[in-house]
Structure 1
Amino acid sequence: MPSITKFTSAAAVMALMMVGTPSLAKAEIVGTLTMGIVVDQIFSQLNGTINKAVAEGDYLLARASMEAKDAIEAWRLANTDLINKTFNELNATQREIFAKADALMTQANDHAANRLETIQQIGENANQIIADIPIIGGKTYITRYGPRIVVGGSGETIFTVKGISLGEADPQLTIGTTLVPRISLTQQEAQFALSNLSIPVEERTISRQALKFSYKVKSSNVIRYLFGAKEVVDRDLALIVFPKVLATYDYSTVVRNDVRVDEPYTAALGQFKARNDRVYKVAKPKEGWKWDLEKPLKVLQGHGEAGRCEGTDINKSSESGISVFARLDEIRESKNFFGLVKKDGYVSCSLSGTIYKMVPTENPGPAKKGDIVWHSDLPLDRPDNTVRMTMFVKTFDNRDLTVDGDRSDKLFNAKVSAGHLLVTPKIPDDIAE
């Protein structure tokens, strides 16, 4: 089969993107090819792009390529008289549209230009092809349909088919063997209420499903045509179906707890000194520590004379300090020239007991792995004493994300609130037609 020439360099492709319309001097479909061959070649490129995009989870490129394919198919059905003509026999506008379709497929497959810009241009080119379709009285054909991307599960999707002369064609839509209820019909549009539960869905990968669109046209048999007989035309309308699992996740937290540390401790109170009196001193723990008043306390007596370490007064004590008292008497020495010598009693005391402090310690907290699915929120435990949390997410469209707080993605929202992290799936805005 003759081939369609490609751009000779990436520079030519980039030039096409900047100009916005293909330069036929740089990328030109061979003029002697018939339009039937041109369409087949572009279809082949589109099918390759769609298959690759679906495999890679690139649903936007897959949708744009499907739109382009359907637009060209609609053009082919509406221009059957041009199929056997050569490319050079088309008018300038038609030649430019198909040259651009060829160039855009090259860009999409070679990743030679900005992906989102390429997708947008594929869609715009499809619209140009649709706009170029002549309206022929009495001839029925489809121009576009949507949505092309759906999420299975609960609810229903309003599925719209646009075309020409649909009103008298009695269009029907089926999925498998199930007839989809038609809810409205005009000459240019038919709408159906498609139950999402009826759509087959893969577990973890994007899939393609086909709806069968049937409509009646005048018979191609001359005799039957003269008698007004009609025949049914069936056409498959491809859907891109998101998987049940929109992402997998690996969630972990680190929590901080205060761990109690106990330690035996002896506080030296120094010397108590007085005469015929009771003296109090406060035994303090080490800086940052506290006395454990529930554990035994012992007053220790050291060197002294006419004094004794007696005990503690708990009523005057706290964890920050314990009141220790000693009894001091009078020291009497032998008489000197002036008589009997009297001195203060003294004694050294210490307090032995248990001190403690609370030490902040980080440890692994709640952790979980699993799937994020459509139509169901995912609450994950996040205690108030969490100091760090991390959720690694792998989406079905092959994106690796990290969530460590509030985050909004096109497939889900993550919100931190009291006691948990709540992950809420959402249908991405960019799948809307």
Structure 2
Amino acid sequence: MATLISGATRADDPVTDFFLGGIEDKAENLMEKARSEANAVAWGVADAAKSVIEAWKLSNAELLDKAFSGLSVQQRELFNNMDETLTRLENNQELVVRDAEKLTAEWSGVIKNLPFTNHDPEVLNYRPRVIVPIGEGTVPLVVTGPKLSSAEPSFNSSGKAMPVGRSTDHELLVQLNRGDLTFEETKSSFAQYKLTFDSKAFSWWQPWTWWSRDRITRDTTIWLLPKQMAAFTIVPMLPSEDVAAGTYGVQVGARGKDSAYPQNVPLAPLWVDQGYVYDAVAIAQNKFFSDAGGDKASCSGAKIDSIGPLKFTFMIQLGHRTVGGSKRDAWVNCNLALPIVKKTPSRVVGDEISGVLNWTDDKLQPLPEDTLDYTISLKMFNGRTHVLTKETSDPSGVVTVERVKQGILFKPKPPRDF
């Protein structure tokens, strides 16, 4: 864990001026940046951190001028953890969604346990800040703040009143219908609510509160994630060959009478050692040879069924010469310009494959049968794009990517509302 706070704080540094104000500024900057980048995870965590600090300062005014070292171990750990988390987000490091769920829940719990006995009604926190398109039909929205239950709270959306439950003196409960929320297909949207309450809580033993109707309005903004969790692009790597062509020149010849003469033509070791073989198809076309002089004989060409990678049989047709009424040997020389090739295994980029993922359904994306490797680009719901290989996984933690026999299997792991 980071030690930024304890390492940088002097014994007489007040908590609020030196540290809490810095975290608040960091949280506000992150919220603005996250909203511009459509990063719901960062926005929700930064907003939750900001609420915790504001609530803690309100509840612990007497500690604000004390040194950081004077806080309890739990309080120091809370602020250290908060600062470390925001710094990670500030440095564009990914925060796993499960961590966001855990942190916002823990930080909301901190606010619930703060003492607000002497404070007027106020909204200090609400949860969830981010709602996913799938889940239970009812989403419990919990609003926390001192004396809200006795401050005649009312909650509305676009002017339409909604029932408000009171869980404790400092906690309100509004049941949102997930089906009434508008989730866009590919981009985030926001649900805006207004909570109105009296500036002074009603107490039967304080008559001056009986007719107090100074109303305060607070806005509650909830980030609605898109129905499409991610769009993916897969670029497969397929097997290929690099081909280098050359020519092996050699001369062969024969002498004899009235016969077909087979001449074995092995590929020279010089070429074999470099990885070359005969180009069998080109040799079979029999366009690689020419006569280099002779008498009553001719160069016929390759014996097709003899052509191999390192040797073949070249046929020479011999006739005869007639001298003084007798048959004499015929002869011929043949120049061969033999086509050779060297094939080296390589890889080539295949056709791009694209698709989309939702929050609930597994997706099996077939790959070309001979795929050697692949690269996946995932454009996630939070505005971030990640490039994955066989050795990496989605850093946001909401989908697993597996290489299976049939292709790529995407398995969503939908988060809870947080």
**TM-score tier (shorter):** 0.5 to 0.7
Change (3 A) 1:100 1:298: closer
Structure 2 residue 192 is matched with structure 1 residue 192: no
CA RMSD of aligned residues (A): 6.6
TM superposition shift of 1:309: 3.1
Is it true that 1:350 corresponds to 2:334 in the alignment?
Answer: yes
Q: Counterpart of 1:55? A: 32
1:410 corresponds, among 389, 395, 400, to 395
Judge conservation of contact 1:405–1:416 (CA < 8 Å) in 2: yes
One-letter code aligned to 1:289: D
Relative to 1, partners in 2 of residues 1:247 and 1:343: Cα closer, same or farther, differing over 3 Å? same
**One-letter amino acid of the structure 2 residue matched with residue 292 of structure 1:** A
**More strand per residue:** 1
Question: TM (normalized to structure 2)?
Answer: 0.56
Give the counterpart letter for 1:295 in structure 2: Q
Asked if structure 1 preserves the Cα contact closer than 8 Å seen for 2:183 and 2:227, the reply is: no
User: Following TM superposition, by how much is the alpha carbon of 1:50 offset from its aligned partner in structure 2, in angstroms?
Assistant: 3.7
Which residue of structure 1 lines up, in the alignment, with residue 270 of structure 2? none
Shift of 1:135: 7.9
Which amino acid in structure 1 is aligned with residue 139 of structure 2? I
The one of 257, 261, 264 aligned to 1:279: 261
Hey, what's the Cα distance between the residues in 1 that align with 2:65 and 2:304? 107
Shift of 1:53: 1.1
Distance 2:289 2:22 in 1: 94
How far 1:327 sits from its partner (Å)?
3.1
Quick one: which amino acid aligns to residue 263 of structure 2?
A: K
- Distance, in Å, in 1 between the alignment partners of 2:103 and 2:364 is 40
Q: Which has the higher contact order (CA 8 A, sep 6+)?
A: 2
Q: Secondary structure at the match of 1:54?
A: helix
Deviation at 1:52, TM superposition (A): 0.9
1:87 and 2:62 are equivalent in the alignment: yes
**1:268 counterpart = 2:251:** yes
Distance 1:29 1:382, change over 3 A: closer
1:259–1:359 contact (8 Å) kept in structure 2 = yes
CA contact (8 A) 1:202 1:244 kept: yes
Q: Report the more deviating stretch, 194-203 or 145-154.
A: 194-203
Q: Mean Cα displacement is larger for which, 259-268 or 405-414?
A: 259-268
Partner of 1:8: none
Aligned AA (2:285) = K
Counterpart CA distance in 2 for 1:55 and 1:114 is 11
With over 3 angstroms needed to count, the CA separation of the structure-2 counterparts of 1:47 and 1:18, relative to structure 1, is closer
Q: How does 1:300-379 map to 2 (within 5 A)?
A: 300-304=290-294, 308-309=297-298, 311=300, 316-318=305-307, 321-322=312-313, 324-327=315-318, 329=320, 345-350=329-334, 355=339, 357=341, 359=343, 365-367=350-352, 375=359
Paired AA for residue 269 in structure 1 = V
For residues 324-359 of structure 1, the C-alpha deviation after alignment (integer angstroms, 9 at most, x for no partner) is 14235588789xxxxxxx997242353768847575
TM-fit CA distance, 1:55:
2.6
- In the alignment, residue 394 of structure 2 is paired with which amino acid? D
Distance 1:239 1:284, change over 3 A: same
Greater radius of gyration (CA): 1
Query: What does 1:18-417 align with in structure 2 at a 5 Å threshold?
Result: 25-27=12-14, 48-57=25-34, 62-67=43-48, 70=51, 87=62, 96=71, 127-133=109-115, 145-151=126-132, 158-161=139-142, 174-177=156-159, 190=173, 192-195=175-178, 198-199=181-182, 209-213=191-195, 235-241=218-224, 257-258=240-241, 268-271=251-254, 273-274=255-256, 277-282=259-264, 287-292=277-282, 295=285, 300-304=290-294, 308-309=297-298, 311=300, 316-318=305-307, 321-322=312-313, 324-327=315-318, 329=320, 345-350=329-334, 355=339, 357=341, 359=343, 365-367=350-352, 375=359, 383=368, 390=375, 401-411=386-396, 412-415=399-402
Deviations 1:208-244 (A, max 9, x none): 65433568997579779879x9999865334345578
1:60 CA displacement: 6.0
Distance 1:292 1:300 in 2: 15
Per the TM alignment, residue 131 of structure 1 is displaced from its structure 2 partner at its CA by: 1.9
Distance 1:323 1:113 in 2: 74
Q: 1:234 to 1:373 in 2, by over 3 A?
A: farther
Secondary structure (helix, strand or coil) at the match of 2:219 reads strand
Q: Could you tell which deviates more after superposition, 216-225 or 158-167?
A: 216-225
**CA 423–197 in structure 1, closer or farther in 2 if over 3 Å, else same:** farther
Instruction: Please say if residues 258 and 359 of structure 1, whose CA atoms lie closer than 8 Å, have aligned partners that are also in contact.
Output: yes
CA distance in 2, matches of 1:23, 1:123: 31
User: For 1:248-300, what per-residue CA distance to the aligned partner results, in whole angstroms no more than 9, with x for missing partners?
Assistant: 988766655447788888763322x4456543234567734214376355875
Structure 2 residue identity aligned to 1:409: D
Shift of 1:108: 7.7
Give unmatched runs, 5+ long, in structure 2: 268-275
Kept in 2, the 8 Å contact 1:171–1:215? The answer is yes
CA contact (8 A) 1:100 1:125 kept: no
